[in-house]
Chain A
Amino acid sequence: SAVISQKPSRDICQRGTSLTIQCQVDSQVTMMFWYRQQPGQSLTLIATANQGSEATYESGFVIDKFPISRPNLTFSTLTVSNMSPEDSSIYLCSVSRDNYGYTFGSGTRLTVV
């Protein structure tokens, strides 16, 4: 299965600022997925990132708040913009390789103060 490096692993940020999370995969993948896990909750898909096109956002998530870049087939970034305490969550990237299921990065634990 793919190996995913995600960073930063954690951060504490001031409200009103932005944080960019990076996700690097050790092999080329078509789609990369960004999830949010709020405290004590399950995972919710934010958006799907396809190289060379705009990301596709799920209901309740907008590009202005969570801009995503996908410059090549092994890398993506998610930015959490104009943060508020409600954005405190774990953010995870994920990729899928046929027959291998979905692999997740170790996550970015974000605390907004």
Chain B
Amino acid sequence: AQSVTQPDIHITVSEGASLELRCNYSYGATPYLFWYVQSPGQGLQLLLKYFSGDTLVQGIKGFEAEFKRSQSSFNLRKPSVHWSDAAEYFCAVGPYSSASKIIFGSGTRLSIRP
């Protein structure tokens, strides 16, 4: 069965510290992977996506993610977080098709300690 697991429900980091949010997936074919961010009261914004090629992908707002096929992981990282990064982060997986749905993880809430 297809699934996405985000094992951390809530993470708190200090401003300026590094961040890694974990994402593991189960998918029958070559997955297409996404990270979205949702600020309070807002819709979802795409941070980055991986379709193929270089397994280290760069996104907006200084985020990056690394696809590791052997570990079925697609962890999100940022070297130095800012207070404005406090939000809910969702990992998602799906096929490469505009006619197909994607599956979301349960989300990780990020809090920033001043």
Contact = CB atoms under 8 A, between A and B. Distances in A.
Chain B associates with chain A? yes
Interface of A: 1, 6, 29-31, 33, 41-45, 48, 50, 92, 95-99, 101-107, 109
Contact of A42 (B51, B94, B104): B104
Interface residues of B, number: 24
B46 A101 contact: yes
Given A33-B101, A41-B106, A104-B44, 17 more contacts: A1-B46, A30-B99, A42-B90, A42-B105, A42-B107, A43-B104, A44-B104, A45-B101, A48-B101, A92-B43, A97-B98, A98-B98, A99-B51, A101-B34, A102-B46, A107-B42, A109-B41
Chain B interface mostly helix, strand, loop or mixed? loop
Interface in B4-56: 34, 36, 41-46, 49, 51
Contact of B102 (A1, A6, A99, A102): A102
Contacts of A48: 99, 101
A94 B95 CA distance: 15
Nearest to A101: B49
Contacts of A31: 98-100
B99 A102 contact: no
Chain A interface mostly helix, strand, loop or mixed? strand
Contacts of B107: 41-42
A102 B34 contact: yes
Contacts of B90: 42-43
Contacts of A33: 101
Nearest to A45: B101
A46 to B, nearest CB: 10
A109 B38 CA distance: 14
Contacts of A6: 43
A51 to B, nearest CB: 12
A98 B107 CA distance: 24
A41 B42 CA distance: 14
A29 B96 CA distance: 15
6 pairs of A and B residues whose beta carbons are closest in the complex: A106-B43, A96-B98, A104-B44, A101-B49, A43-B104, A107-B43
A22 B57 CA distance: 34
Contacts of B51: 99
